[in-house]
Amino acid sequence: MNKGKALRAGDTIGVVATSSPATEEVLNKAMVELQGLGYKVKISDTCRESYGGYLAGTPEQRAAELNAMFVDEEVDGIMCMRGGYGSPQILPLLDYDLIAQNPKLFIGYSDITALHTVFGQRANLATLHGPMATSDIAHGLDDWSKQYLLRAMTRPEPLGAIINPPGEEIVCLVEGYAAGPVVGGNLALVSAMMGTPYQLDTRGKLLFLEDIDEEPYRIDRMLTQLAQGGLFDDCAGVVIGTWTDCEPKKREGFSVWDVFQNIVVPYGKPTIWNIQIGHGACNIALPLGVEASLDATNGELVIEESVTI
């Protein structure tokens, strides 16, 4: 894999708006927090723009700025401003050869799942599924999330075992052992890319999934799409993150737990549940594209390879 360098105090983090806009107030808070962690900050122009109400600039603007961040010699690592919606729009406009030739640590989650996928598959770039500038950093990270994020960003060594904060048990859904690179992210984005040139390749990989504010019937629909598209047939194992505000709202019936039992468990792939990665109060940084091992029987996910150099 191509890898960005581990960040040091005084390095510059480029903040890019790949998806939805944010307010100037929360953007300024994010800058202050990142500077408080010891970094310089460079903000892309579209971080201060809004297009159509739910996009931070046109697709062409956002893609051009992201391409530019990878070749900008002043920028040492790249963090997404926030998720929301919009990253799939820019996939055809990115220069994957340029990105492969200028690897940098790239951080984000949620809507950024589309970018993690294409960077891994088209630029062979290892990336970091983790907290973002205005969504998380601006509001102050909990200690557990902050610890994992800084370790992943600053140490050119494997992250090791992903351990939940106290009180959150990692549950085994299907026993067994599997190993391979970790891929995936937000279920809605993985589902949205099905049938496109950017569809997630799960062959021999550990598939990670999480989401927010989706009712069980919608999660059922998306998991069914992944199943019928062969993603669970192809993957080596399944890692299930947090499902914030995903309780039934319109009708009583299956829970998210039930849906995974019905759709994913029958594949018999080693599977764990409730690792604290995603839209929850704790969002542990998860390297993507690097080797990991999954001992589902004992509820252990171990990152065996560094995401930086």
Give the active site residues. Answer: 110, 210, 279
Give the amino acid at 88: P
Cα distance between residue 102 and residue 174, in whole Å: 40
Q: Is residue 256 a contact partner of residue 211, using CB atoms and an 8 Å limit?
A: no
Q: Is residue 222 a contact partner of residue 244, using CB atoms and an 8 Å limit?
A: no
For residue 274, the number of C-alpha atoms closer than 13 Å in the C-beta half-sphere is 12
Structural tokens at position 267: 């594949």
Q: How many C-beta neighbours within 10 Å does residue 249 have?
A: 9
First and final C-alpha spacing in the chain: 11
State the SS3 of 106-154.
Answer: EEECHHHHHHHHHHHHHCCECEEECCCCCCCHHHCCCHHHHHHHHHHHH
Nearest CA among 104, 96, 57 for reference residue 78: 104
